[in-house]
Chains A and B, each alone.
Chain A
């Protein structure tokens, strides 16, 4: 028997204390308690290391080289010169600017529309569930299908959007052949597809708000606007922050829709950073340059995820 007070041989859990008499069993359990997680986590973590960490490290090394895939004479070590070069590289800076503008404009409009519709639909009415489900449908359209369908609808000869414009007396517009309208067009596509996502998050936030404060301010005689700006929005703020961050991470990944709608054109008008990286890597095969450009994007993603983890999961 063991002297009282000695912990060896006793496994403690929240609910029960079990006395283990067999010494052999004890040591075996201890070993599996200490190292068992390696067995369970091992396969997943090793895999993630091989397919995420190693490629990212490889890409970091690649980003320090001039490395043409097709021309063996165009390969040499550049070091940080590659990154310094990016700072004055007009096409890169323009695509970074377009990418950021795309994110800010899309997230802003999706937030505004999502919030307004959530407030508007936040009442009991006949068929409310069906309406919400129908509104969410575009979120499930594959980006490639959505992008191509908008390309079809923007067509000046037989596109539905120009037909609508014609109804109100505007001539057909070659949306995707003009720089300014092309950029607006890809933004409209993204807003259409993803504002319902923003709406759903904010709507569930609204539904979860307690009722009492609203009854209280009503008794105090607050106007609708006062209620909205001094009660609803401040109480919704955490939900809105989460929604903005989630959307930002998602929009940062934008590629497919723009790739199939415009391919980055006309000219470079819709060449977002992701399209810029794609073109350099897989049309011009400048892998080193593409790796360096994509590291700028990794940094952006990391900055956003740090904010996310601090705000949401802390």
Chain B
């Protein structure tokens, strides 16, 4: 590696100072979210400075978890995310196998079409979803929201797992077929164990995308099916801005995202470029 200005002694110090500045700028809003969540309302309103000393308190968390139905909202979010994940990954894995192992007319264009559906902005589907689901009574139900989430997560799962299926040598399957396995048997006896890591990655991303969704949950849910992200925004609208409660709820919602992001570090770039975090 060649050595430029930033690699020599004085430059080195300037380099680290610049890195530090970058980190401070970038992490400042995160600090605001977390520190505000531990401040009493009095401290929040009293001063503009985010670095003023304050007495840390868990009041916001207590309020959010025990005096408002936030735990119930988290439960809704988890149920929707879990079912979306199970449905997307099982149906998606079958489809990936189909794309990877059968040569048929239009294979390439069909998989491209599946990929292209990921470009559709969610707001454009909200109008027909709302109309159709209200016609068949799916508004404000778990099924309605799970269907909506699967509509954008299933293509993502197919896209993500396809390379995993394609990587498995044809010889493995030929051997199984010769031994008398049917395609379906070869799918779950040979392929599933081998693509398991890919399916786990797909499952975690599916969970995250469903967990992060705001717009479908906002439009298709209301009183009964309200997810945690929608509830977070509720702390600002309903009774005047409750910043302490909002940041506490926001912190709680972010935690699983960070945990999963850390598990997934290796696959992060692939997953993000495929789906976008929205």
Residues of A near any B CB (own CB < 8 A): 13-16, 18, 29, 32-34, 36-37, 39-41, 43-45, 47-48, 51-52, 54-56, 58-59, 62, 117, 120-121, 123-125, 131, 133-146, 148-153, 157-160, 162-163, 166, 192, 196-197, 200-201, 204, 214, 218, 224, 242, 246, 249-250, 252-253, 255-256, 260, 274, 277-278, 281-282, 287, 290-291, 294-295, 297-298, 301-302, 304-305, 308-309, 313
B10: interface (CB < 8 Å): no
Q: Is the CB of A148 within 8 A of B232?
A: yes
Which residue of the partner chain, among B97, B112, B277, contacts A140 with CB atoms under 8 Å? B277
Contacts A218-B2, A255-B215: A158 and B48 contacting too (C-beta < 8 A)? yes
A157 to B94 CA separation, bound complex (whole angstroms): 55
Considering only CB atoms, which chain A residue lies closest to B35 in the complex? A160
A309 to B33 CA separation, bound complex (whole angstroms): 39
Considering only CB atoms, which chain B residue lies closest to A274 in the complex? B123
Task: Please indicate the chain A residues that have their CB under 8 angstroms from the CB of B76 in the complex.
Answer: none
Task: Please indicate the chain A residues that have their CB under 8 angstroms from the CB of B232 in the complex.
Answer: 142, 144-145, 148
A70 to B273 CA separation, bound complex (whole angstroms): 41
B221: interface (CB < 8 Å): no
B57: interface (CB < 8 Å): no
A124 to B15 CA separation, bound complex (whole angstroms): 12
Q: Is the CB of B236 within 8 A of A151?
A: yes
CB distance from B113 to the nearest CB of A (A): 9
Q: Is the CB of A149 within 8 A of B247?
A: yes
Which residue of the partner chain, among B48, B98, B254, contacts A145 with CB atoms under 8 Å? B254
Q: Is the CB of B276 within 8 A of A246?
A: yes
Beta-carbon contacts under 8 Å, B66-105 to A: 91-92, 94-95, 97-99, 101-102, 104
Contacts A41-B99, A121-B19, A143-B214: A298 and B27 contacting too (C-beta < 8 A)? no
Task: Please indicate the chain A residues that have their CB under 8 angstroms from the CB of B147 in the complex.
Answer: 51
Task: Please indicate the chain B residues that have their CB under 8 angstroms from the CB of A120 in the complex.
Answer: 6, 18
Task: Please indicate the chain A residues that have their CB under 8 angstroms from the CB of B27 in the complex.
Answer: 134, 137
B28: interface (CB < 8 Å): yes
16 contacts between A and B (CB under 8 A): A13-B174, A44-B92, A44-B98, A51-B151, A135-B22, A142-B232, A152-B246, A153-B32, A200-B272, A250-B278, A256-B278, A277-B123, A281-B130, A294-B126, A295-B124, A313-B112
Task: Please indicate the chain A residues that have their CB under 8 angstroms from the CB of B53 in the complex.
Answer: none
Task: Please indicate the chain A residues that have their CB under 8 angstroms from the CB of B215 in the complex.
Answer: 255-256
B263: interface (CB < 8 Å): no
Q: Is the CB of B98 within 8 A of A301?
A: no
B49: interface (CB < 8 Å): yes
Interface size class of B (residues with CB under 8 A): 35 or more
Which residue of the partner chain, among B44, B91, B128, B158, contacts A58 with CB atoms under 8 Å? B128
Task: Please indicate the chain B residues that have their CB under 8 angstroms from the CB of A253 in the complex.
Answer: 121-123, 276, 278
Considering only CB atoms, which chain B residue lies closest to A172 in the complex? B48
Which residue of the partner chain, among A43, A144, A166, A297, contacts B95 with CB atoms under 8 Å? A43
Q: Is the CB of B102 within 8 A of A301?
A: no
Q: Is the CB of B250 within 8 A of A278?
A: no
Q: Is the CB of A137 within 8 A of B115?
A: no
B154: interface (CB < 8 Å): yes
With A192-B26, A298-B120 known, 11 other A-B pairs at CB within 8 A are A39-B183, A45-B95, A55-B132, A59-B128, A117-B22, A135-B26, A148-B232, A149-B33, A163-B50, A294-B123, A297-B121
A251 to B206 CA separation, bound complex (whole angstroms): 20
Q: Is the CB of A135 within 8 A of B120?
A: no
CB distance from A210 to the nearest CB of B (A): 14
Contacts A56-B128, A250-B278: A144 and B154 contacting too (C-beta < 8 A)? no
Considering only CB atoms, which chain B residue lies closest to A58 in the complex? B128
Q: Is the CB of B32 within 8 A of A149?
A: yes
CB distance from A282 to the nearest CB of B (A): 6
A309 to B119 CA separation, bound complex (whole angstroms): 11
- Which of A15, A120, A149, A224 is packed against the most chain B CB atoms within 10 Å? A149
Contacts A55-B129, A163-B50: A148 and B236 contacting too (C-beta < 8 A)? yes
CB distance from A252 to the nearest CB of B (A): 6
Q: Is the CB of A224 within 8 A of B26?
A: no
Task: Please indicate the chain B residues that have their CB under 8 angstroms from the CB of A297 in the complex.
Answer: 121, 123-124
Considering only CB atoms, which chain B residue lies closest to A256 in the complex? B214
Beta-carbon contacts under 8 Å, B188-219 to A: 212, 214-215, 219
Task: Please indicate the chain A residues that have their CB under 8 angstroms from the CB of B46 in the complex.
Answer: 158
Q: Is the CB of B98 within 8 A of A40?
A: yes
B131: interface (CB < 8 Å): yes
A246 to B22 CA separation, bound complex (whole angstroms): 24
CB distance from A95 to the nearest CB of B (A): 12
A124 to B94 CA separation, bound complex (whole angstroms): 43
Q: Is the CB of B236 within 8 A of A309?
A: no
